[in-house]
Amino acid sequence: MDEKPESEKSDDVQSGVIANYLESKLALIHMKPLIEFLEEYIVAKHAYLGSPQCQGITYHDLWFLLKPGDEVISPEENQAYRIFGAKIPTHKAVSPWADYERQGKITISPPPPPGEEDATYFEYELGRIDFDGYCLTPHRNLYSIPPFEGEKLVTELRYYPLRFHPALLNGAQRAHSSLKETGNLLRLQLIERGRKYTQMTSFQHAYHSGTAVGGNEALDGQVVVDITRASQERLVPPKMPKNWLRERNPSSLTDRRSFLCEAECCTGEVVWSERGTQRRRNDEFLDSFIPQNPDDPLSVSVASRFVESMRKSPEGFRFSDEELVIMGNTVEGFVLRTRKWAYMRLDNLSEIDYRSGEAKSEKEDEVKDDSKTAFDDLVLPEGHKEMILSLVAQHFRDQGKDEEVDIVRGKGKGLIMLLHGAPGVGKTSTAEGVAELFKKPLLQITCGDLGSTAKGVETALEKNFSLASRWDAILLLDEADVFLASRSRATSGTDFNRNALVAVFLRVLEYYTGILFLTTNRVGDFDEAFASRIHVSLEYPPLDRKSTKKVLALNLRLIGERFKKSKRLISIDEEDISIDAEEYWSTNDKARLNGRQIRNACHTALALAEFEAQGGNHKTILAPNAKVTLASKHFSTVFKAYLDFNKYLKDVYGTWSEDRAKEFELRAGEKVPSGSNDLQSRRNLESSQTGSFPGQRFYQ
């Protein structure tokens, strides 16, 4: 039998010696102080770092605190992350060659930052889940903590574990003695926010309250969150799907050069390297995401997944708590008021209370009657509400049907309604009320949003029509006079351009498949070609006596509700106010108030009453809870100011506003009869008895 080489014999002898030593009494004696050291220092420190008493951390203990798999949060971003990799800081002094290189005499590798040559940064890799418009995809960044002396508060770190967060997301101060309990409460909120984020992968109609990301101006109003469309608007192409199991830790976390000390202090010394240990620790965490069943999909924490394919998959659109915690907190939405895209924080978005158009509170479901909407409060001519409701409801019912309503495929599927009449009689409010009633976004555009050239108008119209169709929104083109104007024989460049605008609008209008409200108070300029393209045209005449009383009563009721909601005291003399309003309507047939002016008159009269309740002091609020008395004298002051202004305009133009509209053939003249009623007879009787004239009080 061949003998073993001397080298193998030596290895066997050495192995035998080690085995005998490990089984010896001496090894047991040596083991005891090692165990005592581990229990006294290592185990105790590990327990302390996880206890409520831990508030500070030293630089060399960071690896205890920030480990792969831990969930951390950034208070500045209000965003949770998961640690996917970490590099333990080690001793690393600068070598003479590196110093020589730093002086510019030779180039080998990038030198360390000045003043930090004797230690490495603590580096860690953080991951969260974002939606890019197509995929839910992991997003990771590498961060570092420079060396620091002594102990530092954990909460002073840029990212720290959830359990150390001093306040919950809603701003409530931590009232729990246990850090773990606080972390759990915060984690539950993050999980709920993560579910909310997954809902934003399809467009959502919501209410935003607060400032937009990167902005200082308050952005309070309805928005449509549509990340996919926002990416398309910015011409951002779909990104390549990511898979972190293939793309392991960045080289800086495992680079051998970053672990070795090349200075004289370690030359010829056997220095234990943590490189293999921490690589194994990082890899073990990533390997935990490998599913046991090869057919199961990877977690979105480590691999991108297309949202549409997820919705169609047997597993459905479901996520684990570990995935929901690190979902993003920023979305991109369209602000309906400004008609611009903006980045928004998810915490600022809430469900819409369609009764008020504002954010919905938890208690409103118990207080408000959902059966009554703003559309019910509208004061419209008889038959208008029924016609509008029937047309809109039928349009939404027919949306899913693949039926052609015209001999040319694709034409005539939209619903176009023209609302025309005097200003301030409810045309715009009708579209707003319909959007609220059917719980749809209202996309309101003006001629200024569409441009002034035929090409620009066509592009803008197609863009807005596309948005409205995608979001199933109600589209309102307010004051559409430019596009409704009658075409004429082109004698100049201006005439030719205007004719082109009308022609483009007519063509695009015919292929629109959604609901469009057009409003105008200059129907006299109406082009006859629109008559066949509009499904229904509704006239909104000036308010008559009955309508004026209804609008006034509505605004007084809203004032009372607003005060009741804010728990303030107010007394409204509705009867006397109504009598004064009727008297003004009867005696000033050329200067009557429209609906918008009645609302403004109520707000102005209320301001007078509140100023009076504060003792007429404009500097300080003397009595915050003082009772406000809204009386007819306040409205008399407002009515007089309005009448004086209308008389001034009459002196300027030589005629009243309504008469001017008729003279210029913008709309028909006054149709409301000015007949008397019992109230007028009573006022006439009072005048004969006192020697005064109707409306005299407005000049006292």
Provide the pLDDT for residue 551.
94
The tens digit of pLDDT for each residue in 12-47 reads 445 555 566 667 778 778 888 888 888 888 888 888
Please state whether beta strands 71-74 and 160-161 pair in parallel, antiparallel, or not at all (unpaired). Answer: antiparallel
Provide the pLDDT for residue 96.
52
Local confidence band at 621 (pLDDT 50, 70, 90 cut-offs): low
| pLDDT exceeds cutoff 50 at 341 | yes
Beta bridge partner(s), residue 306? 135
The stretch 518-533 carries a mean pLDDT of 80
The stretch 599-609 carries a mean pLDDT of 94
Q: Which two tokens stand for residue 279?
A: 């690589």
Provide the pLDDT for residue 118.
42
The stretch 455-477 carries a mean pLDDT of 92
| pLDDT exceeds cutoff 70 at 82 | yes
Q: How far apart are CA 450 and CA 445, in angstroms?
A: 8
Local confidence band at 197 (pLDDT 50, 70, 90 cut-offs): very high
Provide the pLDDT for residue 237.
73
The stretch 618-628 carries a mean pLDDT of 73
Beta bridge partner(s), residue 525? none
Provide the pLDDT for residue 408.
52
Local confidence band at 533 (pLDDT 50, 70, 90 cut-offs): confident
Q: Considering only 8-17, 136-145, 283-292, which range has the smallest mean pLDDT?
A: 8-17
Task: Mention every residue, 6+ apart, whose C-beta is less than 8 A from residue 17.
Answer: none
Q: Considering only 313-322, 526-535, 584-593, which range has the smallest mean pLDDT?
A: 526-535
CA 111 to chain centre: 45
Give 41-80 as a DSSP string: IIIHHHHHHTSTT--EEEGGGHHHHS-TT-EEEETTTTEE
Provide the pLDDT for residue 81.
95
| pLDDT exceeds cutoff 80 at 566 | yes
Local confidence band at 268 (pLDDT 50, 70, 90 cut-offs): low
Provide the pLDDT for residue 97.
52
The tens digit of pLDDT for each residue in 206-243 reads 999 999 988 888 889 999 999 999 998 887 777 777 77
Provide the pLDDT for residue 686.
41
Q: Which two tokens stand for residue 113?
A: 């930052």
The stretch 489-504 carries a mean pLDDT of 72
- Written in H, E and C, the secondary structure of 481-523 is HHHHECCCCCCCHHHHHHHHHHHHHHHHHHCCCCEEEEEECCH
Q: Considering only residues 97 and 513, tell me which one the structure prediction assigns the higher pLDDT.
A: 513
Provide the pLDDT for residue 636.
93
Q: Considering only residues 451 and 581, tell me which one the structure prediction assigns the higher pLDDT.
A: 581
The stretch 270-284 carries a mean pLDDT of 74
Provide the pLDDT for residue 682.
41
Kindly list the structural domains of the chain, giving each domain's residue range(s) and its CATH number in brackets, ordered by start: 56-211+228-287 (no CATH), 374-398+410-540 (3.40.50.300), 546-699 (no CATH)
The tens digit of pLDDT for each residue in 634-666 reads 999 999 999 999 888 888 877 877 777 666 555
- Written in H, E and C, the secondary structure of 582-622 is HHHHHHCCCCCCCHHHHHHHHHHHHHHHHHHHCCCCCCCCC
pTM, two decimal places = 0.78
Local confidence band at 298 (pLDDT 50, 70, 90 cut-offs): confident
Buried b (16+ CB within 10 A) or exposed e, 545-557: bebbbbbbebbbe
Provide the pLDDT for residue 322.
94
Give 410-470 as a DSSP string: T-S-SEEEEEEESTTSSHHHHHHHHHHHTT--EEEE-HHHH-SSHHHHHHHHHHHHHHHHH
Rounded to the nearest integer, the mean pLDDT of the chain is 79
The stretch 151-176 carries a mean pLDDT of 72
The stretch 286-304 carries a mean pLDDT of 86
Provide the pLDDT for residue 504.
85
Provide the pLDDT for residue 324.
95
